[in-house]
């Protein structure tokens, strides 16, 4: 609050934005200062907001997005105009794709000059560019509209299917003044920003009837289920019905992966075999082979396997997006699952029939076989380390530290970690999500540590780490309990490609051999460890978790150990082999 020449108490755009955010329970901003938002970042910190400053806006944006996922409050990312905005936009779009609530607030240049294209500093029509790439986009031109602008952004981000929102704040807005009392009255505290959406009783009955008739039922839990924070009811529904469940990547740990009804280890058996599949906050997108094809028992890749689907989703448009949904259940996961719980207790009392024993026995047999096979592979101790022997260590460490958050990206480093490392608690696994995007690693790690206060373990492919690696400085600056493990196999997928033309340049997938990523962390005062054996890796990770010091372990992995494109080789067009 300031006082003008006439001593009338006035406020300005800076303070109104800060007050509007605080009024709505926002306590942290992730961003990167510069023109025209440097002073805004300073004032926000002065007024009690936590401002976490990054080295690149994309990482700040990824941090905001995952903070939104973890807290159900929109994560805020603050950037400068044009290039900073564009850097943040990738994260905003990724947040929207993944249904994470986030608001990208970017300063922008003078509207009059931008609209006449007169060549302003960092001139860009940011609102128009953001619009098709996020859930909603707004611009505030007048200080008295700041309250409405922030309120609309918050509601848009968290209500219904969560997503990314762009808020354009022109430089001039920040310095605009208005009467302080009127300014205060113009702010809005959003009431019930993500209202419950209760499913219709007929839809609940349809779903329960389908489940009741199933011989081989299966539940698929997605990250929408994890986001919903309805953990106890979800667990109760699964245990009461006795239906086997398959967690999607970020739903791992919603119930412990070691739960006897978890069928991750028999995925390729249960998908084609199941007769009724209930999707809970999971989309039938590419990660589930679109609900058809050979994965689901279809004869061709477009053929549908004959399953009946129940789908719980907050978005009514999600049903029938890939195959017919026989029982859509539209509502928030919490309300839907509690309605289902009520329905199964009234319709069947405590005698809800568990799935047929043949189905459960067939799954158990397959699961046990695969678990034994994996145990054998994990017990090997090759030199140099491979993904399995290194991940055997990570698996133990996560088991001993179930409160730690695991961030994971890469190709092979992602696929192997997902299948080898069990998770024990909800929302502890954060990864590349719907797009399979690279570059989320350090942004997610910073935000996870900041919003949870828990230790973070980031398992990174060396290629994936490169996208956000400079943020190790951010990790050190804020002294965050993050242990980064870089699985270093000298390149993208591996380090063995050679230049087919025989020139001096290395192949496009190959990096500097024997690189020491650990030195990067040391450069900023953190702990760097070079680990070539599982014992060294274990010691380093244990020490990092004990000390809570920023740590980077350069874990040397056999450069021949990776496979091209990890598990999604089929998506990589191959040229026809010459005879
Ligand atoms: P996964 O990749 O784990 O399968 P997806 O991101 O594909 O998960 O799917 C998440 C789904 O969850 C989206 O369709 C989204 O609309 C839905 N969703 C998100 N939040 C909720 C919620 N609170 N209640 C119901 N559905 C939700």
pLDDT in tens, the chain (579 residues): 555 555 589 999 999 999 999 999 999 999 999 999 999 999 999 999 999 999 999 999 999 999 999 999 999 999 999 999 999 999 999 999 999 999 999 999 999 999 999 999 999 999 999 999 999 999 999 999 999 999 999 999 999 999 999 999 999 999 999 999 999 999 999 999 999 999 999 999 999 999 999 999 999 999 999 999 999 999 999 999 999 999 999 999 999 999 999 999 999 999 999 999 999 999 999 999 999 999 999 999 889 899 999 999 999 999 999 999 999 999 999 999 999 999 998 755 557 899 999 999 999 999 999 999 999 999 999 999 999 999 999 999 999 999 999 999 999 999 999 999 999 999 999 999 999 999 999 999 999 999 999 999 999 999 999 999 999 999 999 999 999 999 999 999 888 999 999 999 999 999 999 999 999 999 999 999 999 999 999 999 999 999 999 999 999 999 998 887 777 877 878 766 544
Residue 368 lies in a domain: no
Q: Last residue of some domain: 300, 335, 363?
A: 363
Residue 9 lies in a domain: yes
In whole angstroms, give the CA distance from residue 172 to residue 142.
9
Using DSSP bridges, classify how beta strands 9-12 and 177-179 pair: parallel, antiparallel or unpaired.
antiparallel
Same domain, 264 and 167: no
Specify whether the CB–CB gap between 478 and 504 falls below 8 A.
Answer: no
Best of 314, 331, 427 for a ligand 1 pocket test (most atoms within 8 Å of beta carbon): 314
Residue 372 lies in a domain: no
Is 470 exposed, middle or buried (CB count within 10 Å of its CB: 0-12, 13-18, 19+)?
middle
**φ, ψ for residue 430 (rounded to 5)?**
-120, 125
Structure tokens at 480: 């965050």
Structure tokens at 502: 């025989």
Residue 576 lies in a domain: no
pLDDT in the model for residue 579: 41
Ligand 1 neighbour 222 (Cβ under 6 A): yes
Ligand 1 neighbour 94 (Cβ under 6 A): no
Same domain, 277 and 175: no
Same domain, 355 and 386: no
Same domain, 489 and 347: no
Residue 375 lies in a domain: no
Claim: this prediction has a pTM higher than 0.95: yes
Same domain, 555 and 439: yes
Ligand 1 mean position, distance from CA 318 (Å): 9
Same domain, 345 and 425: no
CA 424 to chain centre: 17
Ligand 1 neighbour 221 (Cβ under 6 A): no
Ligand 1 neighbour 287 (Cβ under 6 A): yes
Number of domains in the chain: 3
Ligand 1 neighbour 468 (Cβ under 6 A): no
Residue located via tokens 């009431």: 191
pLDDT in the model for residue 348: 54
In whole angstroms, give the CA distance from residue 529 to residue 519.
8
Ligand 1 mean position, distance from CA 282 (Å): 5
Ligand 1 neighbour 467 (Cβ under 6 A): no
Same domain, 109 and 53: yes
Structure tokens at 365: 């047999």
Same domain, 444 and 334: no
CATH assignment at residue 245? 3.40.50.1220
Ligand 1 neighbour 446 (Cβ under 6 A): no
Q: What atom in ligand 1 is closest to the CA of residue 228?
A: 23
Ligand 1 neighbour 99 (Cβ under 6 A): yes
pLDDT in the model for residue 562: 82
Which range marks the domain in which residue 537 is found? 380-571
Ligand 1 mean position, distance from CA 100 (Å): 9
Structure tokens at 559: 């450069």
Residue 265 lies in a domain: yes
Q: Last residue of some domain: 297, 330, 363?
A: 363
pLDDT in the model for residue 6: 53
Residue 578 lies in a domain: no
Taking Cα atoms as reference points, which of 176, 163, 91, 80 lies closest to residue 124? 80
Best of 73, 99, 164 for a ligand 1 pocket test (most atoms within 8 Å of beta carbon): 99
Residue 104 lies in a domain: yes
Same domain, 330 and 427: no
The angle subtended at Cα 74 by Cα 174 and Cα 128, nearest 5°, is 60
Q: Quick check: bond before 384 cis, omega within 30?
A: yes
Same domain, 389 and 450: yes
Query: 3-state DSSP call for residue 412?
Result: helix
In whole angstroms, give the CA distance from residue 499 to residue 502.
5
Same domain, 175 and 227: no
Same domain, 176 and 214: no
Q: Whose CA is nearest to atom 18 of ligand 1?
A: 224
Q: Is 117 left (phi over 0), alpha (psi -120 to 50) or beta?
A: left
In whole angstroms, give the CA distance from residue 456 to residue 454.
6
DSSP one-letter string for 244-287: -EEE-GGGTTSS-TTSTTB-GGGHHHHHHH-SEEEEES---SGG
Torsion angle of C-alpha atoms 457, 458, 460, 464, degrees rounded to 10: 180
Ligand 1 mean position, distance from CA 67 (Å): 16
Ligand 1 neighbour 319 (Cβ under 6 A): no
Ligand 1 neighbour 217 (Cβ under 6 A): no
Q: Last residue of some domain: 333, 363, 393?
A: 363
Buried b (16+ CB within 10 A) or exposed e, 270-285: bbebbbbbbbbbbbbe
Ligand 1 neighbour 250 (Cβ under 6 A): yes
CATH assignment at residue 104? 3.40.50.970
């Amino acid at each position: 609050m300031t006082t003008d020449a006439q001593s009338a108490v006035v406020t300005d755009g800076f303070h109104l934005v800060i007050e509007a955010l605080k009024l709505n329970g926002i306590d942290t901003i992730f961003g990167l200062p510069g023109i025209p938002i440097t002073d805004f970042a300073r004032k926000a910190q002065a007024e009690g907001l936590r401002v976490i400053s990054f080295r690149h806006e994309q990482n700040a944006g990824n941090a905001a997005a995952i903070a939104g996922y973890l807290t159900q409050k929109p994560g805020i990312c603050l950037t400068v105009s044009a290039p900073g905005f564009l850097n943040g936009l990738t994260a905003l779009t990724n947040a929207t794709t993944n249904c994470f609530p986030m608001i990208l607030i970017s300063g922008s240049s003078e509207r009059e000059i931008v609209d006449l294209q007169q060549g302003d500093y960092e001139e860009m029509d940011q609102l128009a560019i953001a619009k098709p790439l996020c859930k909603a986009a707004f611009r505030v031109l007048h200080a008295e509209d700041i309250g409405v602008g922030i309120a609309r952004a918050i509601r848009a981000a968290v209500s219904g299917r969560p997503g990314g929102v762009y808020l354009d704040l022109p430089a001039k807005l920040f310095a605009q003044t208005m009467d302080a009392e009127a300014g205060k009255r113009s702010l809005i505290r959003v009431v019930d920003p993500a209202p419950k959406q209760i499913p219709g009783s007929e839809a609940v009955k349809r779903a329960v009837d389908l489940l009741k008739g199933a011989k081989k039922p299966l539940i698929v839990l997605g990250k929408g289920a994890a986001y919903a924070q309805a953990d106890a009811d979800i667990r109760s529904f699964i245990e009461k019905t006795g239906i086997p469940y398959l967690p999607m990547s970020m739903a791992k740990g919603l119930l412990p992966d070691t739960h006897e009804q978890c069928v991750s280890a028999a995925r390729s058996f249960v998908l084609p075999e199941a007769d009724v599949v209930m999707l809970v906050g999971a989309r039938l997108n590419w990660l589930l082979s679109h609900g058809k094809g050979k994965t689901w028992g279809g004869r061709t890749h477009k053929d549908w396997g004959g399953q009946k689907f129940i789908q719980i989703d907050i978005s009514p448009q999600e049903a029938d997006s890939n195959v017919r949904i026989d029982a859509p259940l539209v509502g928030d996961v919490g309300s839907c699952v509690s309605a289902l719980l009520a329905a199964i207790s009234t319709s069947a009392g405590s005698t809800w029939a568990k799935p047929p024993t043949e189905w459960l026995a067939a799954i158990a047999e397959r699961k046990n076989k695969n678990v034994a096979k994996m145990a054998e592979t994990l017990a090997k101790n090759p030199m140099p380390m491979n993904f399995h022997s290194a991940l055997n260590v990570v698996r133990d460490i996560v088991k001993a530290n179930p409160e730690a958050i695991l961030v994971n990206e890469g190709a092979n480093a992602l696929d192997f970690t997902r299948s080898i490392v069990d998770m024990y608690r909800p929302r502890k696994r954060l990864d590349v999500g719907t797009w399979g995007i690279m570059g989320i690693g350090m942004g997610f790690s910073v935000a996870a540590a900041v919003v949870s206060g828990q230790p973070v373990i980031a398992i990174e492919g060396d290629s994936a780490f490169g996208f956000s690696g400079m943020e190790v400085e951010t990790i050190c600056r804020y002294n965050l309990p993050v242990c980064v493990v870089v699985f270093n196999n000298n390149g993208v997928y591996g380090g063995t490609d050679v230049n087919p033309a025989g020139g001096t340049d290395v192949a496009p997938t190959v990096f500097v051999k024997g690189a020491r990523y650990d030195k990067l962390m040391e450069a900023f005062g953190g702990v760097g460890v070079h680990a070539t054996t599982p014992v060294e890796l274990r010691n380093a990770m244990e020490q990092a978790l004990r000390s809570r010091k920023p740590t980077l372990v350069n874990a040397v992995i056999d450069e021949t150990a990776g496979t091209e494109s990890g598990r999604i080789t089929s998506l990589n067009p191959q040229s026809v082999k010459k005879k």
